Structure 1
Amino acid sequence: MGREFIDLFERWADSYDTTVSGEDEEYRDVFKDYDGILSAVAQASSGHVLEFGVGTGNLTAVLLKKGLNVTGIEPSKAMREKAKTRFPNLALLDGDFMNYPELEQSVQTIVSTYAFHHLTDLEKDKAIHKYSQLLAQNDKIVFADTVFKDENARTQMQEKMKAKGFYNLLQDLQTEYYTTIPVLEELFQKHGFQVAFRQLNDFVWLMEAVKN
């Protein structure tokens, strides 16, 4: 359920914002146009927004600036503390993509950036089913995450990172649960969503799934 990665984020909390800013050469392309990616998610969002994987609150800041009502879900205590310092009044709950406290109000948009890959494809299936029960017709799921066009694209990217000597990133690509567009398309359609994909950088795609 993604919680096997909590220790990573506990350690990453203090340097996460440095990484996404592009100072780490190995991950620079992963986070290329990071602000634009956050903006794309926020622009596609409306109403009461449920954000999974709040982290240090970077997407949260953009959502709040747009005037949206946000409830955040974050499994890492260190990350929650960072976000709470920035947004003391934010409704921020301990939870993950599949297990979180009961919400007090209806949700119109579910969002996340750089986090859905922490679920296996089977867990993604279960999570999307759960969200289909939470959302009404025309409500949305808006995720931005590293996704591959197909299996060939996944293999080519791993070979490219190996050739560059980016072994930490290569290990991430090989051990975390990055999936492909055909898999996600099938899962969203299975649970009653019409989904569209738009590539935002060499790694990240925006997926906007509207409930039928």
Structure 2
Amino acid sequence: MGREFMHIFDEWADTYQDAVSGQQIEYRSVFEHYEEILDAVADRVSGKTIEFGVGTGNLFEKLLNKQIDVIGIEPNERMLEIAKSRFPNTKMVDGDFLNFPKTENVHNIVSSYAFHHLTDDEKSQAFELYHHLLVDDGEVIFADTLFKDDTHHQRAIDDAKEKGFSNLAQDLMREYYTTLPKMEDIITKAGFQVSFKQLNDFVWLIHAKK
């Protein structure tokens, strides 16, 4: 359920803003067009929304600016603390993609840079859960790292190693990155129609409609 990566989130909490703004060369390509990526998610949202993996609150802020009724779910205590300090008196609670306070009449479920912390089996469980949770025609809109196939995944690892990006290479080997065909199969089997759009070398927009 992603909670096995809590120690990584602890390390990221105080440096995440530097990474997304391109100040960490190792992760610059991962976060290329970061603001546009968040906009690609936020621009498709209307109605009551759950955001998983709020992190330090960057997508959450865009949703608030659109006056979206959004509930933030975040498993990491330090990141949740940072997000709450940025946006006091908003709805943010502890939880993860599979374990969170349930709510009714949800129109959208969104996330950025987080769904790869679930195994493929857990991803399947999540989409089955979301299908029951969402209203008719409800949508899941995720921006997350995907690869066209296993060969492209291995190439990304090899490229990171060749550039001396050991942390990035370790991330790509340790976390549960999946492929487009596997993700499409997971989502369609759960009862959604899905489309994909590549937003940078790593990140794809996943737009699934119930």
TM-score range, shorter chain: over 0.9
Distance 1:83 1:158 in 2: 31
Distance 1:34 1:154 in 2: 21
Segments of 5+ residues of structure 2 without an aligned counterpart are none
Listed as ranges, the matches of 1:139-178 within 5 Å are 139-178=138-177
Equivalent residue, structure 2, for 1:186: 185
* 1:102 CA drift (Å): 2.4
User: What is the CA deviation profile of residues 87-116 of structure 1, one whole-angstrom value per residue up to 9, with x for unaligned ones?
Assistant: 11211111000001122x421000000000
Distance 1:185 1:108 in 2: 21
Equivalent residue, structure 2, for 1:130: 129
Listed as ranges, the matches of 1:78-117 within 5 Å are 78-103=78-103, 105-117=104-116
Secondary structure, in 3 states, of the residue corresponding to 1:80? Answer: helix
The letter for the 2-side match of 1:5 is F
The letter for the 1-side match of 2:181 is P
Equivalent residue, structure 1, for 2:59: 59
Equivalent residue, structure 1, for 2:32: 32
Distance 1:108 1:102 in 2: 13
* 1:136 CA drift (Å): 2.3
* 1:138 CA drift (Å): 1.2
* 1:155 CA drift (Å): 1.4
User: What is the CA deviation profile of residues 3-58 of structure 1, one whole-angstrom value per residue up to 9, with x for unaligned ones?
Assistant: 01112112221111111111000000000010000000001111011000000100
Query: Is the Cα–Cα contact under 8 Å of residues 105 and 135 in structure 2 kept in the other structure?
Result: no
Equivalent residue, structure 1, for 2:119: 120
* 1:150 CA drift (Å): 1.0
* 1:151 CA drift (Å): 1.2
Distance 1:26 1:94 in 2: 30
Identity of aligned residues (%): 54
Secondary structure, in 3 states, of the residue corresponding to 1:63? Answer: helix
Name the count of aligned residue pairs.
210
Distance 1:198 1:183 in 2: 15
Distance 2:160 2:14 in 1: 25
Secondary structure, in 3 states, of the residue corresponding to 1:136? Answer: strand
Q: Is residue 7 of structure 1 aligned with residue 10 of structure 2?
A: no
The letter for the 1-side match of 2:107 is Q
Distance 1:210 1:18 in 2: 33
Distance 2:123 2:85 in 1: 30
Runs of 4+ aligned residues of structure 1 deviating over 3 Å after TM superposition are none
More divergent stretch after superposition (87-96 vs 196-205): 87-96
Segments of 5+ residues of structure 1 without an aligned counterpart are none
Higher strand share: 2
Distance 1:158 1:79 in 2: 27
User: What TM-score, normalized by structure 2, do the two folds share?
Assistant: 0.98
Distance 1:86 1:25 in 2: 26
Distance 1:106 1:184 in 2: 25
Equivalent residue, structure 2, for 1:75: 75
The letter for the 2-side match of 1:81 is E
